[in-house]
Amino acid sequence: MKRTLIAAVITLILALGFCAAGLAEGEILWLGGVGMKAGDYLASGANATTTTRPDDNYAHLSSDGKTLALHNYSYAGSGYQYNVVYGRPYLSLLFIRHPLTLQLDENTSNSLVFSGADGINTKGIYLDDSAADLTITGSGSLNVKNGLYLIAANGSDVSINGGSVTLETTVPSSFGIWLVGSDGDFALGEGALLKINTRTYGILTTGSTDINGGTLSIESGSTGIDARSDLTISGGAVTVKNGGTGLQTDGNATISGGTVDITGKGYGLSAGGLAAISGGTIKIDNSAGTQHAIAGYGVDITGGVLDLTSRLSAVRSINKPITCTLAMPDGAAILSDIGATSYYYLDFTASYENSDHTLRTIHLPYVPAAPSAPADVPTTGDSTPLAAWFALAALSAACGVWLIISCKRAL
């Protein structure tokens, strides 16, 4: 009898403490606290849908329920309460459980803003199912504001292929894009503009992050991009200003095109796998911090234009030598892969861009515990002195004595 009473009390506590709300029959999503079915229109400020199109300021869910078009739609409020845990509501401005294309109509300005919510457990756009992938298209604009997570997903993917999207919040420990679960990939495509301003992370994904075009601007208190799988930048423009690491991945980081401009106090680019740069323009200034500009478990540099400013070495590779196959303008050989320890360093002491837009740099590996560097190497005109210094460095490395040489060339 006593055990039965205890079980009943526990059941009652769980029932009161955890309560999940669900979509009603036929409802595809909830927008601004209102459930929408296929074919519905929802006017800004309305608390019910209609089948008649308003003149302006509305949202429309297509007849197949797969596309939500925003036409100067705006909402400010607490949104849809999709869950309650121990008496605390979980809120979303746009709640989705099916694959959806969010279309920002041409020449329109749209907004979803949390108002009257304390910021805890608030998700601006929330994909509540692993199959609820979101694609944002169009040429209008969308501002999502004042939430803990501005775009969040539980195992789904997000792609922004058009429009101008602004995600901004002052909520502590906030995320611009938060994609967790078994997948959670993010992609930014050509023609899209994404601006993120948060207190903690700009973008966090358990899957991969792929920037193949468009413009991405992030201001965050901690990390710009954290991709728990791979990070790829093949086009577009990426700008990160933050208090921590600019670009971070647990997997491989690949930059083959586009422009990257990072200002912060942590690593500029940190890879748990290989950091490979074959193209693009990369500018990193983390001189206000105490980390390397680029770090990885192996670093390959075969192209691109690099401008790296760091209090430590420009490049650090753990357990694997640094590979740099760029040629000198005068044809002199480049030394690389020198060292017998588990850490490899590379300092760029002179670099410039040729007409073919490839990096030309003179460098030698850097070892923190090495003796003081000798005088600058004369490199004007003739490549013989430079080649001689390279030969001396190779000999000294073979003998276990490290030299640090600062090679400078007038641009």
Q: How sure is the predictor about 345, in pLDDT bands with cuts at 50, 70 and 90?
A: low
Most confident of 43-47, 284-288, 325-329, 363-367: 43-47
Is residue 174 in some structural domain? no
Locus of tokens 């109509």: 105
Query: How many structural domains is the chain composed of?
Result: 1
Is residue 240 in some structural domain? no
Is 409 strand, coil or helix? coil
Mean pLDDT across 296-313: 81
Is residue 294 in some structural domain? yes
State pLDDT tens for residues 120-131.
899 999 999 888
Mean pLDDT across 283-301: 87
Mean pLDDT across 399-408: 26
Phi–psi pair at 8, nearest 5 degrees? -65, -40
Is residue 389 in some structural domain? yes
Q: Are 145 and 169 contacting, i.e. CB atoms less than 8 angstroms apart?
A: yes
State pLDDT tens for residues 145-157.
999 999 999 999 9
pLDDT higher than 60, residue 107: yes
Lowest mean pLDDT among 5-14, 22-31, 229-238: 5-14
Q: Are 362 and 386 contacting, i.e. CB atoms less than 8 angstroms apart?
A: yes
Is 218 strand, coil or helix? strand
Q: Are 161 and 136 contacting, i.e. CB atoms less than 8 angstroms apart?
A: yes
Is residue 387 in some structural domain? yes
Mean pLDDT across 27-51: 96
**Per-residue model confidence (pLDDT) at position 368:** 35
Report which of residues 131 and 249 the model is more confident about.
Answer: 249
Question: What is the chain's percent helix, strand, coil content, to nearest 5?
Answer: 10, 50, 45
**Per-residue model confidence (pLDDT) at position 315:** 82
Report which of residues 11 and 160 the model is more confident about.
Answer: 160
Beta pairing, strands 175-180 & 259-263: unpaired
Report which of residues 288 and 334 the model is more confident about.
Answer: 288
pLDDT higher than 50, residue 192: yes
Locus of tokens 């990193």: 284
**Per-residue model confidence (pLDDT) at position 14:** 37
Q: Are 91 and 80 contacting, i.e. CB atoms less than 8 angstroms apart?
A: yes
**Per-residue model confidence (pLDDT) at position 324:** 67
State pLDDT tens for residues 129-182.
888 999 999 999 999 999 999 999 999 999 999 999 999 999 999 999 999 987
Is residue 333 in some structural domain? yes
**Per-residue model confidence (pLDDT) at position 346:** 57
Q: How sure is the predictor about 355, in pLDDT bands with cuts at 50, 70 and 90?
A: very low
pLDDT higher than 80, residue 403: no
**Per-residue model confidence (pLDDT) at position 302:** 81
- Cα 12 to Cα 3, 15, 16, 19: the distances in Å are 14, 5, 6, 12
Mean pLDDT across 302-331: 70
**Per-residue model confidence (pLDDT) at position 317:** 82
Percent of the chain with pLDDT over 90: 56
pLDDT higher than 80, residue 391: no
As a whole number of angstroms, the distance between CA 82 and CA 78 comes to 11
Q: Are 227 and 202 contacting, i.e. CB atoms less than 8 angstroms apart?
A: no
pLDDT higher than 80, residue 57: yes
As a whole number of angstroms, the distance between CA 207 and CA 14 comes to 33
Is residue 344 in some structural domain? yes
Q: How many CB atoms lie within 10 A of CB 50?
A: 12
**Per-residue model confidence (pLDDT) at position 71:** 98
Mean pLDDT across 57-76: 98
**Per-residue model confidence (pLDDT) at position 327:** 44
Work out the mean pLDDT of the chain and round it to a whole number.
78
**Per-residue model confidence (pLDDT) at position 228:** 93
pTM of this structure = 0.79
Is residue 314 in some structural domain? yes
Q: Are 206 and 227 contacting, i.e. CB atoms less than 8 angstroms apart?
A: no
pLDDT higher than 60, residue 72: yes
| Domain membership of residue 325 as a residue range | 277-411
Q: How sure is the predictor about 63, in pLDDT bands with cuts at 50, 70 and 90?
A: very high
